[in-house]
A and B are shown apart, each in its own frame.
Chain A
Amino acid sequence: GQQVMQIPQYQHVQEGEDFTTYCNSSTTLSNIQWYKQRPGGHPVFLIQLVKSGEVKKQKRLTFQFGEAKKNSSLHITATQTTDVGTYFCAGRMKTSYDKVIFGPGTSLSVIP
């Protein structure tokens, strides 16, 4: 079946260090979305990537969509304690009108 995988599952970094999470889909995607979920909270939309090879930046966050539209990454520069949470990628499948499949997430801990 269609799967979206993410690595690593957990990441502990010292405040100020960089962080990257990688997302891979078993099938080609129409687009990919990234969400952040704080402990005890609900997923909050961060960004959507649509085009092959697309790169988008939001302050210290950089998002990339692979050329084959099967993988993506999120990179955070100089992490802060406010970055703590779980980051999910979610891929919209080409074979489905509006179904989005979430990856298992990468849980980020930032040590002050």
Chain B
Amino acid sequence: DTGVSQDPRHKITKRGQNVTFRCDPISEHNRLYWYRQTLGQGPEFLTYFQNEAQLEKSRLLSDRFSAERPKGSFSTLEIQRTEQGDSAMYLCASRPGGTGDDQPQHFGDGTRLSIL
């Protein structure tokens, strides 16, 4: 299967700890997105990359959150000094770029973060 892959699937950590998630997009998809989803809500946009460039970042994203995509392939999302409110499903999506707006996003299965 060559879909979007996320690791880990689940992460349980104590408040105040740092966590890092990884996303491997579909090969040759140069656009990569991070979303956060809480129960009963739709995915909330966090940030977006085109190749290695982070082109947009949600104003809701505090300075405890940082994302990278150093070689334009996989991406990491780090949360520092985690808080209870960070508990959520973190979704990654990718899509091809340069072909207009008609290509859909493909989502990974997500990383579920639980803060104790």
A residues neighboring B (CB under 8 Å): 4, 30-31, 33, 41-45, 48, 50, 88, 90, 92, 96-105
Pick from A30, A99, A102, A105: contact of B48, CB under 8 Å: A99
Question: Nearest Cβ in chain A — how far from B56, in angstroms?
Answer: 6
Pick from B33, B42, B108: contact of A42, CB under 8 Å: B108
Question: Nearest Cβ in chain B — how far from A12, in angstroms?
Answer: 16
B101 touches A45 (CB 8 A): no
Contacts of B50 in A (CB 8 A): 98
Confirm or deny: B16 has a beta carbon within 8 angstroms of a beta carbon on chain A: no
Question: Nearest Cβ in chain A — how far from B111, in angstroms?
Answer: 11
Q: How far is the CA of A99 from the CA of B47 in the complex (A)?
A: 8
Looking at chain B, what size class is its interface with the partner chain? 20 to 34
Which residue on chain A has the smallest CB distance to residue B102? A48
Pick from B42, B56, B101, B108: contact of A90, CB under 8 Å: B42
Q: Decide: A104 near B44, CB < 8 A? Known: A30-B101, A45-B106.
A: no
B residues neighboring A (CB under 8 Å): 31, 33, 35, 40-45, 48, 50, 55-56, 91, 101-102, 104-110
A100 touches B40 (CB 8 A): no
Number of A-B contacts (CB under 8 A): 55
Q: Decide: A31 near B91, CB < 8 A? Known: A43-B107, A101-B45.
A: no
B107 touches A44 (CB 8 A): yes
Contacts of A31 in B (CB 8 A): 101
Closest 9 CB pairs of A and B: A102-B42, A45-B104, A42-B107, A102-B43, A88-B42, A43-B107, A105-B42, A104-B42, A42-B109
Pick from A98, A100, A102: contact of B55, CB under 8 Å: A98
B55 touches A97 (CB 8 A): yes
Question: Nearest Cβ in chain A — how far from B7, in angstroms?
Answer: 14
Q: How far is the CA of A88 from the CA of B43 in the complex (A)?
A: 9
Q: How far is the CA of A29 from the CA of B104 in the complex (A)?
A: 16
Given contacts A88-B43, A102-B42, could you give 14 more A-B pairs where the C-beta distance is less than 8 Å?
Answer: A33-B105, A42-B91, A42-B107, A42-B109, A48-B104, A50-B101, A50-B102, A97-B56, A101-B45, A102-B43, A102-B44, A103-B42, A104-B41, A104-B42
